[in-house]
Amino acid sequence: MLSLFLLFSWFLFRLKFLIEKEFIEESQKSCSTIDPVLISIFSKIMTVILLFFIAGIIFQIMGIPFETLLIFRGAISIAVGFGAQSLLSNFFGSLMILVNRPFRVGDWISSPDKKVEGIIEEIGWTSTRIRTLERRPLYVPNSIFTHIVIMNSSLMYNRHIKQIVCIRYQDVDKIDKITHDIERMLRSHCGIDQDQSIMADWIEFGSHALHIEIYAFTKTTNRVLFRKIQQDICIKVVRVVENYGAKIAIPLHFVHTSHDHEVTP
């Protein structure tokens, strides 16, 4: 009898696995509305329910009264007292993630409150696995996400370019033309979103230079493409500055000699 029930139990777990696999494959289709995280958590809940059900039936088959297990209630109560609080807080943290959807598997997130940054690989019912910038797995308890600020870079519409260009004080008469040409370059750049704010203005007197702020947004949110676009803009800014015979300012603690050697006073 016991062997038949164990075989039946194996069949139930196998059926659960096949159903879960089918739903996961369906969720990976582009037009699917099924959330793979919800599938994973629901599957784990079903596993716990099945284990309790199977354990109860096995006790009955073996003739062990379920009431005899109550002799361990003292030890069980102590264990639950120590572990239930963190377990429940992590479980409710996973429910918060499911309801509010601050991120999903594959999203790039970071937090200014904690040293957390990377790609979401798995959202479990007690913890979330993140692949960091160093390609290391980072396991974060889900309760952490209920009281920290999360920035989801994958939900960005644009990436922000904000650069300060330092121009020598002796080139102050060229500032107006330089800022005009930089802004015109930004407005004609194929990588810049023309529907967003675009600015290139002299904003302040610096300690050793005049500060021009470049402000724009890229069309792409891809990190690699963003850096390429930002580099291209920086190169073109330098060309605009040099086109008017101006120079990028050098900090005061550097002095160039006629042989281009740097001397620190």
67-93 confidence digits (pLDDT tens): 555 555 555 555 555 555 677 777 778
| Domain residue ranges in the chain | 159-243
Q: What is the pLDDT of residues 154-191, one digit of tens each?
A: 899 999 999 999 999 999 999 999 999 999 999 999 99
Instruction: Outline where 28-72 has alpha helix (H).
Output: 36-61
265 — pLDDT class (breaks 50, 70, 90): very low
Burial class (CB in 10 A: 0-12, 13-18, 19+), 97: buried
Contact indicator for 103, 97 with CB cutoff of 8 Å: yes
Nearest-angstrom CA–CA distance, 20 and 28: 13
pLDDT, position 174: 96
- What's the whole-number mean pLDDT along residues 27-33? 63
Nearest-angstrom CA–CA distance, 143 and 254: 50
Q: What is the pLDDT of residues 197-245, one digit of tens each?
A: 999 999 999 988 999 999 999 999 998 999 999 999 999 999 999 999 9
- What residues pair up with 213 in beta bridges, in sequence order? 164, 201
- 31 SS3 class: coil
- What residues pair up with 152 in beta bridges, in sequence order? 109
pLDDT, position 264: 44
Give domain 159-243's CATH number out of 1.10.10.10, 3.30.70.100, 1.10.3720.10, 2.60.40.1760. Answer: 3.30.70.100
